[in-house]
């Protein structure tokens, strides 16, 4: 029987992630989805940029490209267009994707290039020690927002939708089953699939924001996640989402013409 175990580079384990880091969970969910898709190890390419999340491909025993900060999507575009038969998955983080790589992100969405992008949004720059990112919620303390973040955040899933991606969803590291399913649906859909996985960073985010333990961070995500349908209902009733809460669910699923799709030979 094929097992997820075949996909890990066991000689590199345990990985560098801190205790309780959500990235490992997202790797699990991704590989679970890959298993369900029945992809071939030698035909799957994992690509990442720089940051904690981007170290993930190093633990997966496929061909993988650990690139420069923010450019993962551009590298992935090259790989995919040179060999469209590859199954390409991009791991990225919130800083990597939305700050330094924001331009590549919206353009990859616009091109609707056939790949799956999984963004581990931990709301912080973890690798460099906890600086504020474009996804740090208002009021949160980071080393570069010592008096609380004041800038509005990026809603990445919505951004992907608006930029033209065929699939966009958001779940958290708590919702493992839903996340796995969303990743699988994303992999099935031709075109650009974006899955934002909110993850916990107890070391750099939780520690400074009264969420000291991993479990408390996960509880925070569980309690503040609002299903998209519920949010829509609330909106219809004229109730607003209280600050700090965020929506989860499937934002868009459509079948616009996409780039880099291999037509099935019949």
> Which chain residues interact with another protein by CB under 8 A?
5, 8-9, 12-15, 17-25, 27-29, 32, 41-43, 45, 47, 55, 57-58, 61-68, 70-71, 74-83, 85-86, 103-104, 107, 173-174, 176-177, 180, 202, 213-215, 218-219
Cα 151 to chain center, whole Å?
21
Cβ nearer to another protein, comparing 5 with 240: 5
Q: Whole-angstrom Cα distance, residue 176 to residue 227?
A: 15
- Other CB atoms within a 10 A radius of the CB of residue 19 amount to 8
Q: Please, what is the Cα angle at 218 between 127 and 231, to 5 degrees?
A: 110
Q: Please report where in the chains the tokens 């075109």 appear, as a residue.
A: 191
Cβ nearer to another protein, comparing 15 with 158: 15
Cβ nearer to another protein, comparing 95 with 149: 95
Least Å distance, CB 237 to another protein, is: 32
Least Å distance, CB 162 to another protein, is: 16
Least Å distance, CB 153 to another protein, is: 23
Least Å distance, CB 25 to another protein, is: 5
Q: Which residues contact 239 (CB under 8 A, 6 or more apart)?
A: none
Q: Which residues contact 185 (CB under 8 A, 6 or more apart)?
A: 167, 169, 193, 250, 253
**CB of 115 within 8 A of CB of 260?**
yes
Write out the DSSP string of 221-243.
HHHHEEEHHHHHHHHHTTPPPPT
Q: Whole-angstrom Cα distance, residue 121 to residue 101?
A: 14
Cβ nearer to another protein, comparing 11 with 237: 11
Cβ nearer to another protein, comparing 75 with 251: 75
Least Å distance, CB 150 to another protein, is: 29
Cβ nearer to another protein, comparing 104 with 170: 104
Q: Which residues contact 148 (CB under 8 A, 6 or more apart)?
A: 138, 139, 140, 141
Cβ nearer to another protein, comparing 133 with 214: 214
User: Burial level of 38, CB count in 10 A (0-12/13-18/19+)?
Assistant: exposed
Least Å distance, CB 200 to another protein, is: 9
Least Å distance, CB 167 to another protein, is: 21
**CB of 57 within 8 A of CB of 48?**
yes
């Amino acid at each position: 029987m094929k097992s997820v175990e075949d996909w890990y580079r066991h000689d590199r384990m345990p990985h560098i992630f801190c205790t309780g880091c959500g990235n490992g969970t997202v790797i699990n969910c991704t590989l679970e989805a890959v298993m369900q898709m029945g992809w071939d190890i030698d035909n799957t390419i994992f690509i990442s940029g720089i940051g904690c999340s981007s170290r993930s491909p190093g633990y997966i025993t496929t061909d993988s490209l650990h690139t420069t900060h923010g450019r993962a999507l551009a590298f992935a575009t090259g790989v995919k267009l040179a060999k469209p038969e590859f199954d390409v998955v991009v791991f990225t983080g919130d800083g990597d994707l939305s700050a330094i790589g924001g331009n590549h992100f919206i353009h990859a969405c616009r091109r609707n290039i056939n790949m799956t992008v999984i963004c581990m949004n931990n709301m912080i720059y973890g690798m460099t020690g906890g600086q504020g990112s474009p996804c740090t919620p208002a009021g949160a303390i980071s080393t570069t927002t010592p008096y609380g973040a004041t800038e509005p955040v990026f809603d990445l899933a919505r951004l992907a939708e608006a930029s033209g991606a065929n699939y966009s969803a958001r779940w958290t590291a708590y919702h493992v089953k839903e996340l796995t399913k969303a990743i699988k649906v994303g992999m099935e859909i031709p075109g650009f699939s974006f899955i934002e996985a909110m993850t916990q960073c107890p070391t750099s985010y939780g520690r400074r924001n009264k969420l000291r333990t991993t479990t408390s961070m996960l509880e925070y995500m569980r309690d503040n996640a609002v299903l998209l349908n519920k949010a829509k209902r609330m909106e219809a009733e004229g109730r607003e989402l209280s600050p700090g809460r965020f929506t989860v669910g499937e934002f868009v699923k459509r079948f616009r013409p996409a780039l880099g799709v291999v037509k099935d030979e019949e």
